[in-house]
Chain A
Amino acid sequence: MIRLTKKKMMASPSAKSGFVGQQENGPTRFRIFLPAVLFFMAGICWSAAAESKKAEVSPVPKMRKNDLTPLSDAVKPISAHSPYQDGDCSLCHQNKDRSNPGPIVKQVNAVCLDCHDDFAKVMARKSSHVPAKVNCVSCHNPHNSMQPKLLVEESETLCLSCHTAISNLVANAQVKHDALNVDHKCVNCHNPHAANVEHLLTRLPYDLCVGCHGKDGVTDHDGKVLTNIKKLLAENPHQHGPVQDKDCSACHTPHGGNNFRLLTKEYPAQFYSPYDPKLYALCFDCHEESMVKDPKTTTLTKFRNGDQNLHYVHVNKDERGRTCRACHEVHASQQVHQIRDAVPYGRNGYMLKVNFTQTATGGTCAQTCHVTRSYTNSPVPVQVKTDALPPKSP
């Protein structure tokens, strides 16, 4: 049996083209066949990439080229492809002879799908990985490998070799997400072939996150015990919009970041803070900044007494401005608008009841932070500047 060394392989024309694993002195027809296959593949890659671009901008335009040489007989592989192991070369190649298998009988993925035909259904999912769609050997060695699943490299290294922006983000993040380093790493959340959710996520973000954050005793990278979100939501019916929408990624960046709790943007960590819009960048990603900037309003918030904007009154101060967290829970609470049940007070963190009550025309905060005060928001006349169209005739 002729076994090619890596040195020999890299010197061969097939190796340069990325198609390795063939006999170096193969038949002439193979030399003619190979460019044709490459040309055909390039066409497929181009059309698949163009097709994929329509649906979502691919962050990785190039395909990996791997050394697909079988391992030396002296090495015991971690995973081996059954046809190769059985010596049944002709299932994929032209010849049954292991020392002279010849070229593969069809385009790479067509050969793979002959047996892995269940992947046709998988790849029909809404979001698919371009390398999986056009070239299985971008990630898998069809013979054998020192990695599970015939992967050409360790899974995380393999993913990050193309996804360099994520690689840089992970490397430079001040706040790390342990999910990237445990169990199946990238595959904890992503399906490398195809998925029904964008970014190849196997489920919607919330359903993925509670896989870990729906348990007691989970700690962050620095060892701090984190809230069991599943339990929190089960006990608190009034939930923040993105939580209801299962979109944890609206506020958290899963690959790592520079803000505490992996927040995508700045958010005040303290109860009091001088008002600076930059500190509220996270909130203002969705909520209107003028809600805390305008002293008077009849449209921007219902937390107003007449036209006096009470968000402005609480938040917009040069020194001890109350931050969002002073009154609102970020995920969920027992009260409407995610109003907190109690706020921490003093060095020992004594929980002071907020005593908020919603009324038909506003609300009341009974004596806690201040004396009991009520507000009313409905009877202020609104100057309508739009022209109402006549009602639709029945």
Chain B
Amino acid sequence: MRCRPSLHSYMRRLAYLAAGGMLWSFSALAFANAPLGSVIENFLMPSLAGGSQSLLSDSNVSVFIFIKPGQEHSNQAMAQIAACEKEMTGKPVHWCAIVSDRIPKAEVEADVKAAGLAMPVLIDQGDTLYGKLGVILHPVIGITDKDRRLVAYQPFAKVNFHAFVQAQIRHALKEITDEELAELLKPTAATLGGDASVAHRYFRLAEKQFQSTNYSQALLNINKSLEKNFTAEAAALRSRIIAAQGGKIEVVVPAEAVGQGAEAGVKSVAPVGVIEKPSNSK
């Protein structure tokens, strides 16, 4: 018997769709001749160190980076990829860099050494692989899964390149979810301050002043906190301060909440922000 999906399951599907949508918006770019999801042909290519190496792994996630030693962005990318490679040591990732055979070997070796790249550097003779995939720019990274399916394409970025590459590799390794990848590719804005933040500081100050029995200052500061942002925690502290001063314990409800869902019987004794000075206040 087929069960009717619950509301929770609908919500979950919607969340997956939304996350999928977010990922799609980041995955529009790809190699001209190899869209995301396509299977990349594997090749044995001559290596800078001698002999030949395969471009991709048939059993692990592969990361291949087209670089152009001497080019500013490539040199910056190589340094960041080298750091990435080091941080991910021990993970089942097949790494390689690809350079055109147009660039003199000594120049490639010097730049690779300076960047600290440990991965094999493969020589693309006659820019064959470059043309086959339709690369069109340097530096650029392709990531394939264990089935050699292209799962990520990441051109160089001046900002957050290292974070983007690492996130894409971790996603290919299934270490992070689609939602986590989306967050790393489009990080949450780091805004400054805000009323809630200021209110919290007044709350903490009032709490400390309450502990040191400086009730009058504590009351002033908790009122400032409540003015900025009403929280039950702050309201409770305000009641404790007033009680400590020997005043009447109040239930404080924000003025705008009265008549808008506030429970019956709970009355706004004093609008938030108005300082009630108990008769025996210190």
Residues of chain B contacted by A246 (CB below 8 angstroms): 186
Q: How far is the CA of A256 from the CA of B127 in the complex (A)?
A: 37
Task: Tell me the chain B residues, 138-167 only, with Cβ under 8 Å from chain A.
Answer: 138, 147-148, 155-160, 162-163
- The smallest beta-carbon distance between B18 and chain A, in angstroms, is 19
Residues of chain B contacted by A386 (CB below 8 angstroms): 43-45, 124-125, 128-129
Residues of chain A contacted by B129 (CB below 8 angstroms): 386
Instruction: Determine whether B41 belongs to the interface, using a CB cutoff of 8 Å to chain A.
Output: yes
Q: How far is the CA of A302 from the CA of B42 in the complex (A)?
A: 23
Per-residue contact bits, chain A 187-203, to B (CB 8 Å; 1 contact, 0 not): 10001011111111111
Task: Tell me the chain A residues, 198-247 only, with Cβ under 8 Å from chain B.
Answer: 198-205, 207, 241-242, 244-247
B137 A117 Cβ-Cβ under 8 A = no
Q: How far is the CA of A122 from the CA of B159 in the complex (A)?
A: 20
Beyond A300-B127, A389-B54, is A86–B217 a contact (Cβ under 8 Å)?
Answer: yes
Instruction: Determine whether B268 belongs to the interface, using a CB cutoff of 8 Å to chain A.
Output: no
Per-residue contact bits, chain A 257-294, to B (CB 8 Å; 1 contact, 0 not): 00000000000000000000000000011111011000
- The smallest beta-carbon distance between B226 and chain A, in angstroms, is 15
- The smallest beta-carbon distance between B101 and chain A, in angstroms, is 9
Q: How far is the CA of A72 from the CA of B98 in the complex (A)?
A: 65
Q: How far is the CA of A307 from the CA of B128 in the complex (A)?
A: 14
Residues of chain A contacted by B190 (CB below 8 angstroms): 122, 125, 191, 194-197, 200, 202-203
Q: Which of B67-75, B110-118, B239-247, B254-262 contacts A (4 or more CB under 8 A)?
A: B67-75
Instruction: Determine whether B201 belongs to the interface, using a CB cutoff of 8 Å to chain A.
Output: yes
Q: How far is the CA of A386 from the CA of B215 in the complex (A)?
A: 81
Beyond A198-B159, A285-B72, A298-B131, is A82–B138 a contact (Cβ under 8 Å)?
Answer: no
A241 B137 Cβ-Cβ under 8 A = yes
Q: How far is the CA of A161 from the CA of B186 in the complex (A)?
A: 31
A299 B137 Cβ-Cβ under 8 A = no
Residues of chain B contacted by A83 (CB below 8 angstroms): 205
Instruction: Determine whether A384 belongs to the interface, using a CB cutoff of 8 Å to chain B.
Output: yes
Q: How far is the CA of A266 from the CA of B42 in the complex (A)?
A: 38
- The smallest beta-carbon distance between B144 and chain A, in angstroms, is 11
Residues of chain A contacted by B32 (CB below 8 angstroms): 302
- The smallest beta-carbon distance between A247 and chain B, in angstroms, is 5
Query: Which residue of chain B lies nearest to A264 when distances are taken between CB atoms in the complex?
Result: B158
Q: How far is the CA of A76 from the CA of B29 in the complex (A)?
A: 57
Residues of chain B contacted by A115 (CB below 8 angstroms): 201, 204-205, 208
B214 A88 Cβ-Cβ under 8 A = yes
Instruction: Determine whether B238 belongs to the interface, using a CB cutoff of 8 Å to chain A.
Output: no
Beyond A115-B201, A286-B137, A392-B148, is A198–B160 a contact (Cβ under 8 Å)?
Answer: yes
Query: Which residue of chain B lies nearest to A285 when distances are taken between CB atoms in the complex?
Result: B73
Q: How far is the CA of A301 from the CA of B136 in the complex (A)?
A: 7
Instruction: Determine whether B195 belongs to the interface, using a CB cutoff of 8 Å to chain A.
Output: no
Which residue of the partner chain, among B44, B157, B159, B200, contacts A199 with CB atoms under 8 Å?
Answer: B159
B192 A187 Cβ-Cβ under 8 A = yes
Which residue of the partner chain, among A117, A193, A299, contacts B126 with CB atoms under 8 Å?
Answer: A299
Beyond A88-B217, A286-B156, is A299–B130 a contact (Cβ under 8 Å)?
Answer: yes
Which residue of the partner chain, among B45, B137, B163, B189, contacts A126 with CB atoms under 8 Å?
Answer: B163
- The smallest beta-carbon distance between A39 and chain B, in angstroms, is 28
B157 A245 Cβ-Cβ under 8 A = yes
Instruction: Determine whether B51 belongs to the interface, using a CB cutoff of 8 Å to chain A.
Output: no
Instruction: Determine whether A385 belongs to the interface, using a CB cutoff of 8 Å to chain B.
Output: yes
Interface residues on A, range: 35 or more
Beyond A388-B42, A389-B54, is A299–B158 a contact (Cβ under 8 Å)?
Answer: no
Q: How far is the CA of A348 from the CA of B187 in the complex (A)?
A: 46
Q: How far is the CA of A241 from the CA of B134 in the complex (A)?
A: 14
Which residue of the partner chain, among B136, B162, B201, contacts A287 with CB atoms under 8 Å?
Answer: B136
Q: How far is the CA of A384 from the CA of B44 in the complex (A)?
A: 12
Q: How far is the CA of A177 from the CA of B24 in the complex (A)?
A: 33
Which residue of the partner chain, among B58, B72, B137, B160, contacts A204 with CB atoms under 8 Å?
Answer: B160
Q: Which residue, of B32, B71, B148, B189, has the highest number of chain A Cβ atoms within 10 A?
A: B189
B209 A88 Cβ-Cβ under 8 A = yes
B132 A382 Cβ-Cβ under 8 A = yes
Which residue of the partner chain, among A117, A194, A203, A207, contacts B204 with CB atoms under 8 Å?
Answer: A117
Which residue of the partner chain, among A114, A116, A286, A291, contacts B73 with CB atoms under 8 Å?
Answer: A286
Instruction: Determine whether B28 belongs to the interface, using a CB cutoff of 8 Å to chain A.
Output: yes
Instruction: Determine whether A180 belongs to the interface, using a CB cutoff of 8 Å to chain B.
Output: no
Query: Which residue of chain A lies nearest to B33 when distances are taken between CB atoms in the complex?
Result: A302
Q: List 28 A-B contacts (CB under 8 A).
A: A82-B205, A82-B221, A88-B209, A115-B208, A116-B204, A126-B163, A187-B192, A194-B190, A196-B190, A197-B190, A200-B190, A202-B189, A202-B190, A202-B191, A204-B159, A241-B29, A242-B155, A245-B29, A284-B71, A286-B138, A288-B130, A299-B127, A299-B130, A383-B128, A386-B45, A386-B124, A388-B41, A389-B41
The 8 closest A-B pairs by CB, nearest first: A299-B131, A196-B187, A195-B190, A115-B204, A385-B125, A249-B158, A386-B43, A286-B137
Binding site for A on B (CB under 8 A): 28-29, 32, 41-45, 52, 54, 58, 68, 71-73, 102, 124-132, 134, 136-138, 147-148, 155-160, 162-163, 186-192, 197, 200-202, 204-205, 208-209, 212, 214, 217, 220-221
Q: Other than the known A90-B212, A199-B159, what 15 A-B pairs have Cβ atoms closer than 8 Å?
A: A88-B214, A88-B217, A114-B208, A118-B201, A194-B190, A241-B29, A249-B158, A250-B156, A250-B157, A288-B130, A291-B136, A384-B128, A386-B44, A386-B45, A386-B124
